[in-house]
Chain A
Amino acid sequence: QKEVEQDPGPLSVPEGAIVSLNCTYSNSAFQYFMWYRQYSRKGPELLMYTYSSGNKEDGRFTAQVDKSSKYISLFIRDSQPSDSATYLCAMATSGTYKYIFGTGTRLKVLA
């Protein structure tokens, strides 16, 4: 079993839809949870950074962490074609700065 599981997609949605992206994990020691967006042949761009459980909102993006279920989500409201990219979740334990990445979900927002 991988430490972090993420559906690779692709996930296709119409423009304006609410997108839900998810990751599950097995290591209960993870405390830090990140979401990155990666366009083709580019480096990942940090979207959201959260510590422990709860919700965090930034513009059209909302990150949720449910540590009891070992489940994290990223919601994108009013999705745009420019949101088409691969979304990677990443996690880290307290005391080490190393990230464990999910495999990434390819998202396509159709105009």
Chain B
Amino acid sequence: GAVVSQHPSRVICKSGTSVKIECRSLDFQATTMFWYRQFPKKSLMLMATSNEGSKATYEQGVEKDKFLINHASLTLSTLTVTSAHPEDSSFYICSARLAGYEQYFGPGTRLTVT
């Protein structure tokens, strides 16, 4: 149990385009999902907290107009990187809160902006 999927697993896009990443909790409902960014050989950096039916809460320094988050259902949250630039290239990982303080992570999406 407690499986989280992400789609796509890898995406390459051109500078200036937008990319949408989906995060789904497959066997449980998650009122709270999180989006992280991870640079090579670095730890996870929390970008935003996504609550079903309400606006996401962004961490300091994360541009909410650039990283659009939608949590429209209890099993789906999406992250849209708008007007992507090469510096947005990274590994994006979502997690879903099962119960209490347990978070289960997706497999990640590798974004490359050319």
Q: In the complex, how many residue pairs between chain A and chain B have their CB atoms under 8 Å apart? A: 53
Please report the C-alpha to C-alpha distance between residue A45 and residue B95 in the assembled complex, in whole angstroms.
Answer: 10
Smallest CB separation, A53 vs chain B (Å):
16
Interface residues on B, range: 20 to 34
Number of interface residues of A (CB under 8 A): 20
Q: Is the interface of B mostly helix, strand, loop or mixed?
A: strand
Q: Is the CB of A97 within 8 A of B108?
A: no
Smallest CB separation, B78 vs chain A (Å):
17
Provide the residues of chain A in CB contact with B68, threshold 8 Å.
Answer: none
Which A residues contact B (CB, under 8 angstroms)? 32, 34, 36, 41-46, 49, 51, 88, 92, 97-99, 101-104
**3 closest Cβ pairs, A-B complex:** A43-B105, A32-B101, A43-B107
